[in-house]
Amino acid sequence: MTVPSDLARRRLTIRRIVAVAGALALVAAVLLAGGLLYLWPLFIFPLLLGAVFFFELGSLLVAGALGGFFVAYFSLRQPVDPATTRQAIVGLAAFGLAGLVLGRVQRRQRRLHDLLAASTLTDRLTGLYNYGTFVDYLHNEVTKAERYGGELTLIMFDLDHFKRFNDRHGHEAGNELLRQVGGTLQAIVREADMAARYGGEEFALLISGDAADGLELGERVRRAIEATALDLRGGGVACVTASAGVATYALGSHDETLLIEQADGALYESKRAGRNRVTVHPDSELPRHLAATLSA
């Protein structure tokens, strides 16, 4: 799976505008060239495109374009009389009403489709991508890295003593904490990277960059989670920390499973060393000054 960027969305919008304008121009050219006014129902096609692509606004814009076309058509082809004017007004009103209905129906269908798509791609509790989406995305990114090169780093996070937190404050407080952590990850991670709930209280970040980038982001997220304060219903505030492991993908290994295992191994090394820290897997190279800092 790839995450659509703003540029991709803008390009799609431009293509849709061109498609609607092209359909309008083509149908208008057919009518003007043939002089066959009974072919005016052909305008239903650009009207449909406008409704499908831009909902009610698209329908109204197409209806307005039709109004301008018919005014010009009648002015050039025959003298304008009251009967012809009434017919044009009724026709345009019917087009506009039909377009509004089509646009509203399409908007509702699109919203339902987006909700269904989101429910299959994301975790309902945290709003992050779910495990299945993460696995698919990781496979695609590994494939791209093998084909085109580039650096890929995985950061695995696990909330420290989360079971103890649930036992002490209740599962609803635990769920609220997971929601806050999800919001923290969404706020910190770049749009080009991916944040997912890997399972339970474990999270995964897949980024474009090397081990140093992973360490820097991991520390930022760790500090942000440490600073998260959850207001409890009975009063008071609860906090939590997180441990993380960082691993970079080795080109030529063709194995995303190894990347997950290395990041997970580094994560459990953080747990073993006392929790609330970020550990880089030994096979992931760090710049000398960072490696010296970690070993000190």
Catalytic residues: 201
Separation CA 255–CA 27 (nearest Å): 53
Query: Which H, E and C letters describe 72-116, residue by residue?
Result: HHHHHHCCCCHHHHHHHHHHHHHHHHHHHHHHHHHHHHHHHHHHH
Task: Indicate the burial class of 92 (C-beta count within 10 angstroms; 0-12, 13-18, 19 or more).
Answer: middle
CA distances from 275 to 15, 27, 145, 193, 245 (A): 51, 68, 32, 25, 11
CA dihedral of 184, 186, 192, 195, whole degrees rounded to 10: 80
Separation CA 240–CA 64 (nearest Å): 58
Separation CA 223–CA 12 (nearest Å): 38
